[in-house]
Amino acid sequence: MSDKNWWRGAVMYQIYPRSFMDSNGDGIGDLKGITTRLPYVANLGVDGIWLSPFFKSPMKDFGYDVSDYRDVDPLFGTLADFDDLLATAHRLGLKVIIDQVMNHTSDQHAWFKESLQSRANPKADWYIWADPKPDGTPPNNWHSMFGGPAWSFSPKRGQYYMHNFLTSQPDLNFHNPAVQDAVLDECRFWLERGVDGFRLDVTNYFFCDPQLRDNPPRVQDMSTSANQADFPYPYNMQYHQFDKSQPENMAFLERLRSLLDEFGSTMSVGEIGDDNPVQLAAAYTAGTHRLHTCYQFSYMNGRKNKLGASLIRKPLEDFFAQGPDSWPSWAFSNHDVVRAVTRFGNDARDPRLAKLLIALLCSLRGTPFLYQGEELGLPEAQLAYEDLQDPWGIALWPEWQGRDGCRTPMPWDNTPTKAGFTTASQTWLPLPDAHIPLCVAAQETDSHSVLSFTRQFLKQRKTMPALISGDIRFVDTANESILVFTRTADHQTVTCIFNLSDQAQTWQQESLPPYGFLLQDCHS
């Protein structure tokens, strides 16, 4: 626990509290439930957990709209429950990083309630306020990612406030030093409580252009690494030149790193959603005075992806070309995107693909993040409109069901009590029938299951320093279905050969089964 660089190559496991384990029978996961399942997490062979938001919140965006940074929402328990979770995790050898949602608060936060009252109160400029144009329209053309303008009008102030997401999620004004100080104080509260670091939500959004200039139009490609929509969508019709990723952010990240360094063996991982995510991630992690690591959506963008060698290779090579001394993080799934086996498998449910994705992610140079259920090979859940909870999905239905399909409850067993997740008759999101046969209990007794494979692979990985911290070098194969690279460290070289397709492939005398791979370990 004292190794300052423990996070370099560590395998992190993301827990979405609402859907992991319910301890009190209300159909919603909670902190006590997570604590009871931490031995399972430790037994996977991961090194730590990322805990999605559990702070006090009106839950308009399910915890990403914080109304009190220093308290646990009663839905999830109490501060004492968190302390018990943290102590249990540490006893099991697991690090704990928590989500910090610093770009915006809930409109129910005391800061915003005060800011809303007038243009002259002590927190009047703690949020981004701007006058209307002469015709009463918003100050500029910025869009909210969740749809509509990024501005909402307040009659009380006669001004618009900015929100990159829901109207109930006003953006803080990081140009105000007092806001920076306040946010860092909220971080200090949790560091003093013993957390091992933070996952920083939308870390490149903290600053916007102080002149509030219009974003230029995106003429051709209307995709963006920060959005799942693969249909015409206003947010994707602009280059986001002025509403995020501003140069002032660097100085704040350096202040945050200084705070983290006060507490020794901590880590920070920033979420990057940008038009140039790899370049920005490298810049945000350059040297030892900014973030420890960043992840972005290179491997998670869109609802369908063609799994190929260049898809995997290009972001890695681009990252290390931009920041040769920086350290990346990688993920194939999280709580915001279509589950990887569905996205890469074109809706086919193939356990070979699930195993390959685990092995591939944990063989890349960087820090891998696994999302709960990925170790079971869970596919994306298909939900009815009346079951949706995600405001983004509700707004875009039927073109997209939003993020609920990856947020359904964990299936622990095949009992009638909602697969062991809860004793309640209803869960906050329905538990898909297709997930029950993939439950933990069924896979634990099957030596060929995705769960058994995950445990075996992560155990093997711990004996291979090359896969944890080694350099990476790709080998040209002239075949998009075959990915080959070497990892080298401490006199060990591991050659990794992956067949990324569902058809058998042959490469240099090696026959690769569909969705197959070989790991060849050589010591010099």
Q: What are the pLDDT digits (tens) for 3-15? A: 899 999 999 999 9
- Can you list the domains of the chain with their CATH numbers? 12-105+176-460 (3.20.20.80), 471-523 (2.60.40.1180)
CA distances from residue 267 to 4, 228, 258, 373 in whole angstroms, order as listed: 9, 28, 12, 24
Q: Which residues contact 120 (CB under 8 A, 6 or more apart)?
A: none
Q: Is the dihedral of CA 100, 104, 109, 112 positive or negative?
A: positive
Q: Is 130 exposed, middle or buried (0-12, 13-18, 19+ CB in 10 A)?
A: middle
Tell me, yes or no, if 261 is annotated catalytic.
no
- The number of residues in the chain equals 524
| Angle between helix 79-91 and 31-44 (nearest 10) | 10
Task: Give the pLDDT of residue 108.
Answer: 98
> Cα–Cα distance between 242 and 304 in angstroms, integer?
29
Average confidence (pLDDT) over 326-337: 96
> Cα–Cα distance between 311 and 334 in angstroms, integer?
18
Q: What are the pLDDT digits (tens) for 17-74? A: 999 999 999 999 999 999 999 999 999 999 999 999 999 999 999 999 999 999 999 9
Peptide bond into 398 cis (omega under 30): yes
Q: What percent of the chain has pLDDT over 90?
A: 89
| Angle between helix 309-322 and 277-284 (nearest 10) | 40
Q: Which residues contact 102 (CB under 8 A, 6 or more apart)?
A: 172, 183, 186, 200, 201, 206
Tell me, yes or no, if 131 is annotated catalytic.
no
Residue 284 phi, psi (nearest 5): -70, -15
Query: Which of the following is catalytic: 201, 243, 271, 380?
Result: 201
In terms of pLDDT, which residue wins out, 510 or 259? 259
Task: Give the pLDDT of residue 1.
Answer: 38
Query: Which of the following is catalytic: 192, 262, 399, 471?
Result: 262
pTM of the model: 0.96
